[in-house]
Chains A and B, each alone.
Chain A
Amino acid sequence: MSQGKHLPSILVPHHKNTSNLETVVMPVPDVVKICMSQSIGAPCKPLVAKGDHVKVGQRIGDTDAFVSAPVHSSVSGTVTDIVQSRGGMGGMETLIVIETDKKQEVSEEVQIPHVTNHAEFVKAVRDSGVVGLGGASFPTHIKLNPKNLDECDVLVVNAAECEPYITGDNRMMLEQGQDVLDGMKLIMKYLNLKKGIIGIEENKPEAIENMNNLIQQNGFDDIEVLALQSRYPKGAERVLVYEATGKVMDAGVLPAQLGVILDNVSTVAIIAEFFKTGMPIVRRRITVDGDAVAEPKNVFVPIGTQIADVMEFCGGYKKEPKKIVMGGPMMGRATNSDENVTMKNTGSLLAFGKEAAEVKVETGCINCGRCISACPFKLMPVIFAEAYNRKDVERLQKFNVMQCMGCGSCSYICPARRPLSFVNTLAKGMVKEATSK
């Protein structure tokens, strides 16, 4: 299967240095700090208290809020503290500090779920704690429970992995390809979807081949692989929906409203794993790379591990780290300290030395229009920047600033090094504020 029409995109260096490195399990660290805000929704309330003994897979945080997912312990050990600290999402959050006993005893709560219908399936997915592992961390069970379920007919699995450096999804498809297909089959079965599409960028030929072989071996003729151009940002939700189905997805619209269920490939595979073992999401495959890392690796990291522990497992820093990015270099978040901990949505940890970490000096706009031709949604970042400076909300709205998804293509391509993508984010905030009054 190949594509028809394409949205504008840019070429970014791939840096897929770790794509051939099999995922290794790192030893359990001495201490983990598990953040209660692991999803885009409401933070969880701790279900354990200081001094409690916890086991692997035990539910330690949950909430009644609609948009939420429970949090489970990734280790066995003792809760030594519950602190307010800066978490992976950037704000002050509740962290449960667990001193590990290294025994990794599995909790009695870990039971293989038995489901017979859609409602039970959705509940089981919520129990697994799975959120969008591509980075957005939207609770998956909500995506699998759309209001217009009977209008949905296709499952699109996002395995584009268009961000540079990250190879976790590639490894997932090579190491756990069967889980990916089983997860897709589960979702397609309970949501009554007729077709499954796995979108993979062409720069992962081994993954494409492996998935095609597995599809053939299993005789799944309702699942197919869609080879995507190796360009950025083919893995953005709205871009992938268009490339896979030809449907135009506006900002603020969920894929389900267009009849599409879209999930990240790792999300899908973790669901399959949960239905096979009953183990909720307690660890995650993380690509550790960047020019300051001695031995770049793909590592299974318990959720809540401090970045410094992961780096130590990867041979430590070969030069003084000046910037550490959680997630890909295009949309990931720079963290202020390697004392911070990994999250469910941490797909990669990239440590950069002085030169790569340097923030480039902004110079004057030369009106080249590259930001306009780079934008997948044909927006005009250069106009947004100008209107934002004049606080011209009307102009921002007229040129559809709210359609920006923050992919960063405009900032990447700008020869004057202007932080256009960031200004778009500020401009969206300005419009939101003005329209909510």
Chain B
Amino acid sequence: MEKQKFHSNLIVSNAPHIVTDADTTKLMGSVLLALAPAFVAGVYVFGARVILLCAVCIIASVGFEWLYNYLAKKPQTVGDLSAAVTGLLIAYNVPANFPLWMAVIGCFVAIVVVKQLYGGIGKNFVNPAITARIFLFISFAANMSTWPLPRMAETTDATTGATPLGILAEGGAGAKLPSNMDMFLGFIGGSVGEVSALALLIGGAYLIWKKVISPIIPCAFIGTVFVIALIYTKSFHMAVFHILAGGVMLGAIFMATDYVTTPKLPSGQIMFGIGCGIITMAIRLFGSYPEGVSFSILLMNICTPLINRWSFKRYCAGGANSGK
């Protein structure tokens, strides 16, 4: 009966038959792109060694992930770029003159111990880069608190100095702090990627515009730090100082918004951001460390399953089916 030739071996799969372009690789690529302004600022402020440091961290992180997957005979996941993001964030979280071998150890802790041993992407319960920073901070305390001077520094005989938060912690009220404008632009001592609030905000705005991250956690985090600082110091100037100093911007925009280790729902994200802000300020004002951003994110990462549980229950009770 038939003269026609039919195509009878077509692919049969479940609907939907189209998917968004924005896969994990694209999202992580956007994050890398959003981290670029801070890279430029870091290179400008601290010189060419930043390029070397970032390259080593990215290569080490991707390499460890590749090697782990290869040895464990797991599907290769380096293509999703998440290891590259982790590597770059580790570089951003250490001083520009940090020994490279120590940085590589940090990458090992982040990728192998924190991420892959728990099951790879999506399964780690704490942020790999933050954990690596804390690991390095505790293991190599001296190197992690020796800050090279920014190129704008007025002194010529010293090669290292303190961060604004360090000055504040040691010198108390009488210390000479950099101007808020210098801190906004990044002309201060500190970790590679955290110094320039401007560069980080540009990256954050890009991510929010592209809908890669939601503005909830950064706003709640930074807002809480600002409010607590305002109440405690009763000075608008010092409140601005606190949100520009240390790792608040880098942490709030790039690490407290890591999908894997933060709450899924907006209600939980508000709690998470506020919690980070409170812990950060508690450590800065009352703790023995000058800076508390990384500890705050780590602690709130650990609280995330609890927050999720609470917010899921609440969301479910207020869902579509119960009449909005």
| Contact, CB under 8 Å: A339 / B264 | no
Report chain B residues within 8 Å CB of A308.
4, 6-7
Check if A376 is an interface residue, CB within 8 A of chain B: yes
| Contact, CB under 8 Å: A367 / B10 | no
The docked-state distance in angstroms from the alpha carbon of A63 to that of B299 is: 66
Of A321, A359, A369, A378, which contacts B10 at CB under 8 A? Answer: A321
Taking residues whose C-beta sits less than 8 angstroms from the other chain, chain A's interface range is 35 or more
With contact pairs A337-B10, A380-B312 given, residues A360 and B19 touching in the complex (Cβ less than 8 Å): yes
Mostly helix, strand, loop or mixed at chain B's interface? Answer: loop
Check if B265 is an interface residue, CB within 8 A of chain A: yes
Check if A91 is an interface residue, CB within 8 A of chain B: no
| Contact, CB under 8 Å: B320 / A378 | yes
Measured CB to CB, the closest approach of chain B to A13, in angstroms, equals: 8
With contact pairs A337-B6, A359-B13 given, residues A412 and B20 touching in the complex (Cβ less than 8 Å): yes
User: Which A residues from 404 to 421 make CB contacts under 8 A with B?
Assistant: 406, 408, 411-417, 419, 421
Complex interface bits, B280-324 against A, C-beta within 8 A gives 1, otherwise 0 = 000000000000000000000000000000001001100111011
The docked-state distance in angstroms from the alpha carbon of A13 to that of B18 is: 10
Check if B259 is an interface residue, CB within 8 A of chain A: yes
| Contact, CB under 8 Å: B312 / A383 | yes
The docked-state distance in angstroms from the alpha carbon of A400 to that of B82 is: 33
| Contact, CB under 8 Å: B265 / A366 | no
Of A31, A317, A323, which contacts B17 at CB under 8 A? Answer: A323
Check if B47 is an interface residue, CB within 8 A of chain A: no
Report chain B residues within 8 Å CB of A339.
6, 8
Of A251, A367, A382, A399, which contacts B316 at CB under 8 A? Answer: A399
| Contact, CB under 8 Å: A372 / B18 | no
Report chain A residues within 8 Å CB of B1.
31
The docked-state distance in angstroms from the alpha carbon of A336 to that of B320 is: 36
Check if A357 is an interface residue, CB within 8 A of chain B: yes
With contact pairs A330-B18, A332-B15 given, residues A366 and B10 touching in the complex (Cβ less than 8 Å): no
Report chain B residues within 8 Å CB of A248.
320-321, 323-324
**Of residues A13, A335, A359, which shows the largest number of chain B Cβ atoms within 10 Å of its Cβ?**
A359
Complex interface bits, B259-293 against A, C-beta within 8 A gives 1, otherwise 0 = 11110110000000000000000000000000000
The 30 listed contacts between A and B (C-beta, < 8 Å) are A5-B324, A13-B18, A31-B1, A248-B320, A248-B323, A308-B7, A320-B7, A324-B7, A329-B15, A330-B17, A331-B16, A334-B10, A336-B8, A337-B9, A338-B6, A338-B7, A350-B17, A357-B10, A359-B13, A360-B19, A360-B23, A364-B77, A369-B264, A377-B321, A379-B319, A399-B316, A411-B14, A412-B18, A412-B20, A421-B16
> What would 17 more interface pairs be, CB under 8 Å, given A330-B16, A334-B13?
A13-B18, A308-B6, A329-B16, A330-B18, A334-B11, A337-B7, A339-B8, A363-B77, A366-B27, A366-B82, A367-B262, A368-B259, A379-B319, A411-B15, A415-B23, A419-B14, A421-B14
